A and B are shown apart, each in its own frame.
Chain A
Amino acid sequence: MAAIPRGLTYKGIPLWRHTQVIHAALQVVSGLVAVSLVAWFFVNIGRAIRDREIPYGFSFLSREYQTPIGQHFLPYESSDTFLYAFGVATTNTIIVSIVGVILATALGIFVGVCRLSGNWIVSRAALAYIEFFRNVPLLVQLFFWFYIVLALPPVREGHVISDLIYVNNSGISVPWLQAATIGGGLLYFALAAAAVFAGVAVHRAMIRRETTTGRSSYPLFLGISTTVVIGVACWLGMTAAAGQAPFSISIPEPQGTFGRPVGGFTASGGLLALLAGLVIYTSSFIAEIVRAGIQSVGRGQNEAARSLGLPYMNTLRHVTFPQALRVIIPPLISQCLNLTKNSSLAAAIGYSDLTNVAKTMTQTAPAVSIFILIMVAYLAMSLTYSIIGNLYNRRISFS
C-alpha cells in the first residue's frame, strides 16, 4: 500500500475525520463563540447606556473633582480635575506598592532564612509566623492593624518623642525633608542619583582591579566614599549657587485647637495599617518562597564549596544565592504583583488608593468610563511586573 501523501489533501479522507478540518472548525467555532459573547455583553451595555440614559464618555476628566482625598503624596486641592485626582490616587497606590514590596521582601527573606536556621527556637518561631499570617485573610489583618492605630491616644494626648515624632490615633508624624524649591529638589535628586551611580561604578572598577591584579583595592570603602563626596559637594555647590540649601528639615509642630501636628511627614492611620498588613501578609508568602529556593540548592553544592575551603559567606554569595535566586525570583515577582493588587483593600480602612478613589468617583462620574480607567491602570502595573520578570528570565539563560 502506498504511503498516504502528507500536506493539505482531502483525497480519500472524509471531511469530518480530517484532523486539519477538525482543528480549523474548532478554532472558528470557539473564536465565534467568544467574540459573540463579548460583543453581546458590550452591545447590551451600550443599549442599556442609551435606554436608561446612563452617562458615559471621558469629558468628565477635565471637570473639577470637588472631593477631598485623605492622604496624598502629590499636592492636591479639591479644585483639581478628575484626571489629576486619578493621577494622585494612582501615585498613592504606586508608592504603597513600592514601599510595601521593599519591606515585604526584606522581612520575607529574614523570616525565610530564620525558617532554615539550625536553631530550633528560631526556626519554629518563623514557622509559626508563616503559618499564621498567610492563613488569615488580609482584610481581617488590615482591620486588626487599623484598630491598633485607633487604639492609640487621641491627637491631644498623643505620644511625643523628644518633640520630633508624634504618635496618635490619626497617624504618625515625623520630621521630613522639605525642598526649598521643587526644581531645586528634583535637581538635587538627580545629582544624588548620579552620585550613587558613580559610587557603584567605582565599586565595580575596584572589584575588577582586585580580581585581575590580586591587590586589595577596598571596593566597598572607595565606592561609598565616592558617593558621599560627590553628594556633599553637590549639596554645598547648590547652596552656594542658590543662596539656600536644596532641602531643609521640616519638623512637625502641633497647631490649632486640636493640636494636630503640621509640617514634616504624616503617615495616616490608614496608610500605616495598610502597610503593616500588606507587608506582614506578603512577607509570610515570600518567606516560604525563599525557604524553598534555598532548599532547592542541593546539599552537594554546599559540600563541594566547603571542601574547596570557601568560607561560609563566600559559599552563600557565590554558590548558594545565585542558584537559589533562579528559583526565587519568578514567584517573588508574582507575590509583589499580588501586593500591588491587594493594596486595593485600602478602601476598607480609608486609605485613598486607586480603587478607593475610583469607587468614590463613580458617584459623580460615569462608572463605565471609570472602570475602563482602573482596568487599564492595573493591567499596566501587572504588565510592568511581567516585563521585569521576562527581563530577568532572559538574563539567566544558562543550563
Chain B
Amino acid sequence: MADRTLAVDKLLDEAQIIVCCGAGGVGKTTTAAALALRAAERGRTVCVLTIDPARRLAQSMGLTELDNTPRAVKGVAAAKGGHLDAMMLDMKRTFDEIVLTHSDPERAKQILANPFYVSLSSSFAGTQEYMAMEKLGQLKAEGRWDLIVVDTPPSRSALDFLDAPQRLGRFLDGRMIRILLAPAKAGGRAYLKVFTVGVKMFTDVLTKILGAQALKDLSLFVASLETMFGGFRERADQTYQLLKEPGTSFVVVAVPERDALREAAYFVERLESERMPLAGLVLNRVHTSPANGLSVGRSVAAAEGLESAGEQPIAAAVLRVHAERMALATRDARRAKQFSSAHPGVKVVNVAAQAGDVHDLAGLRKIGSELAGTS
C-alpha cells in the first residue's frame, strides 16, 4: 500500500515546478496554495502562480493587487529559512508585456490600441492558458525561486491547458497569418488580388463571413504584430519543453465524482503519452469516518431499532448521521478504487472533505499536512 501513496514532502523538497491540473471545481487553486505554503515552511523559496482564486483565499494571501508581480505572503513560518511569494495571473497584462518587450514603442502602441488585439488578449479562449505558460516561463527564467507552483486555468477540459499554447502559437505563426499579411504588405487596397486560386477562395469566404472591413482590420492587426510571430511559436515550444524537464512534476487534482475522475483519467493518459512527468493524483473532498468499523447496515438497523421503540432519540439520530457518512465514504472509496484499478501506476493522496471553504493560511496549512500524511 505504502508505495501507492504520493510522497508529497519529497516532491515539495525536490521539484522545481509543480503544475496542478484537473477539472473545474475540484479545488485546484486551494491545492496549489497548500502545496506552496508547505514547501515554503519546509525551507524552500517558493512562488505560487494562481489563476482565479476565490476572493477570501486571495485576500488571505495578500493577493489584493492585480499587478502581475509576485508579492511576499505574510504570516508564513520562516523558521527554516523559506519564503513564499504569490501572484495572480493578469492575462491581458502578460500579453501586453510580451508586445512591449518585442516591438519598438511606436509599433507597440499601434498593437495595443488595435480592437482586434484587445479582444484577442482579453477574451480568446486559449489566451489564458497560453499566458499562464508564458508567465511560468518568465518566472522560471528569473531564477529567484527554488520551486514554482502553478495553478491551471479553469478550462473547459483539463486538456486545453496543454493544447492551447501550441494552438495559439501555431496560429500566430501559421500559414493563414502569412496569407492575411500579403494584402497588407501589398498596400491594403489590393488585398483581393491575391496569388493563387486557393488563397482567393479563402479570402472570398472570409470576406463573406466577416465582411470586408473586418478582414481589413484583421489584416492590419496581423501586419503590425508581424515582428513578433517567430517568437510566439518558439516561446510556446520552449515552455512545452520546460514542462518535460526532470524538475517538473504534474499533480492531477480530482474529487471522487465520476466526471472529475474521468477528466483526471484523460489527463493521466495524456501526460503519459506526452512523456510528461506525473507525480500523482490528489483526491480532494474524500469522505471518511473515524468509526469505520460500524457499517452502514448495522448503523441503520440500530437506528431503526431505537426509532421503532421510540427511545434514545439522540443516539438514533447520530446513528443516522453515521450511516449517511459511511455511505458517502464507501462510495468515495469505491470510486477511488475504480480509478486506481484502471491506473495502477498512479500514486494517490486523499484529502478529507472539509467542513467549509478554506480561506486562511491556517486552513491551507491543515490541508498541507493532510497532503503530506502527517495530520
Do A and B interact with each other, yes or no? no
Q: Which residues of A contact B (CB under 8 A)?
A: none
Q: Which residues of B contact A (CB under 8 A)?
A: none
